[in-house]
Amino acid sequence: MKIKTLRNTLGWQAIMLVLIMLAALAAFSCSLMVGAVKVSFHDFIDILIHSNIEHPYRDILWNIRLPRTIVGALVGANLALAGLLLQGVMRNPLADPHIIGVSSGAGLFGMAILVIFPHLTSLVTPLAFIGAMGAAILIYLLSWKNGIVPTRVILAGVAVSAFFGSGISALMTFYSDRVQGALSFMVGGLAAKSWPQVETILPYSIIGILFSLLLVKKLNIIKLGDSVAKGLGMRVEVVRLIITATAALLAASSVSVVGLLGFVGLIVPHICRLLIGNDYRVLLPATACLGIAVVTISDTFGRILFSPFELPVGVIMGALGGPFFLFLLRRKSVS
């Protein structure tokens, strides 16, 4: 049986989904146990089961690693799903929040709050959503000409990303005395993330993931083409707007917490499609789980690679994403 046929069978998809979920669980656990202080599996289980007992590693696990890992998991799921949704709605395998400028739109608005109005940090996520949504709509309008063409989406995205990127550079120039605290925002990292960041991103993640699950049927119809979707009674442009808004919310919530973390939405959906196929009923949960695995294990690797110095997860993702992007450009299906 050919691989393409095998990956579209229900049994194969179920097996791969379970394996991806186990990989996410393993990466999450590894992030909690591995670091400057190594926590054994026995201690790890003991602290989780008896959370109230005194243990030398209790504060490290509960107050440092657990919230950081939860933030990393939510960011990984959010960005992976945002990439999957944008690739589906724009019918472009290279559509990623970071590459096509959606993250830059969110980043500009988020950076503006951080450097101009630092006392209004509660507004970072809502304004980042406005920036991400504005960037997505602008890209969609610029690339539309009798339909969506993948090449135009990328060209429009590069232009929009450059535009918003220049805005971020201008902010860093005019407010250079306040930029030091925002440097980690530009790179994308999980250092010093704790329970307040979990509380910030969690509600937006729940809303975005729930909307994504509700859109599964629509995504499976849209991939058949606009004419087929309209023939089935779907209001295509309205559905596109809803999907784009959901992707913008997922991307904006992540950017507002960890900064401009790129390539997650590019790498993860492609790997899942190679393993599972294009059925969004299975592809969507698999993408979320693999996003969790990729970001948490990359963050763990960044913490231990040059210990005691820490490499931001954005640097790791950039090192992985750059070659992967070039690989996709070389594929015949992307040309």
**Per-residue model confidence as pLDDT tens digits over 255-267:** 989 988 989 999 9
> What is the token pair recorded at 55?
């243990």
Q: Where are the alpha helices (DSSP H) in the chain?
A: 3-6, 10-33, 41-49, 58-59, 66-90, 102-116, 124-143, 150-174, 183-187, 195-214, 216-222, 226-231, 236-258, 264-276, 280-305, 313-330
Average pLDDT by consecutive 10-residue portion of the chain (335 residues)? 62 93 96 87 79 76 92 97 91 80 90 85 86 88 74 83 90 78 76 91 95 95 87 88 91 91 91 92 96 96 87 90 79 50
State the maximum Cα–Cα separation within the chain, in Å, rounded to a whole number.
66
State how far the Cα of 91 lies from the Cα of 148, in Å rounded to an integer: 7
Reduced to 3 states, what is the DSSP secondary structure of residue 69? helix
User: What's the pLDDT at 208?
Assistant: 96
Q: Which residues contact 177 (CB under 8 A, 6 or more apart)?
A: none
State how far the Cα of 278 lies from the Cα of 271, in Å rounded to an integer: 11
Q: How far is CA 211 from CA 83, 146, 260, in A?
A: 15, 28, 23
State how far the Cα of 179 lies from the Cα of 189, in Å rounded to an integer: 16
172: number of Cβ within 10 Å? 16
Amino acid at 112: A
Q: Could you tell me if 262 and 99 are in contact, meaning their C-beta atoms sit under 8 angstroms apart?
A: yes
User: What's the pLDDT at 154?
Assistant: 78
Q: What is the pLDDT of residues 3-38, one digit of tens each?
A: 556 666 878 899 999 999 999 999 999 999 998 888
Q: How far is CA 246 from CA 179, 193, 242, 325, in A?
A: 30, 24, 6, 24
Q: Could you tell me if 334 and 316 are in contact, meaning their C-beta atoms sit under 8 angstroms apart?
A: no
**Per CATH, is 3-328 categorized as 1.10.3470.10?**
yes
User: What's the pLDDT at 334?
Assistant: 45
State how far the Cα of 101 lies from the Cα of 22, in Å rounded to an integer: 32
| Spacing of C-alpha 226 from chain mean position | 27
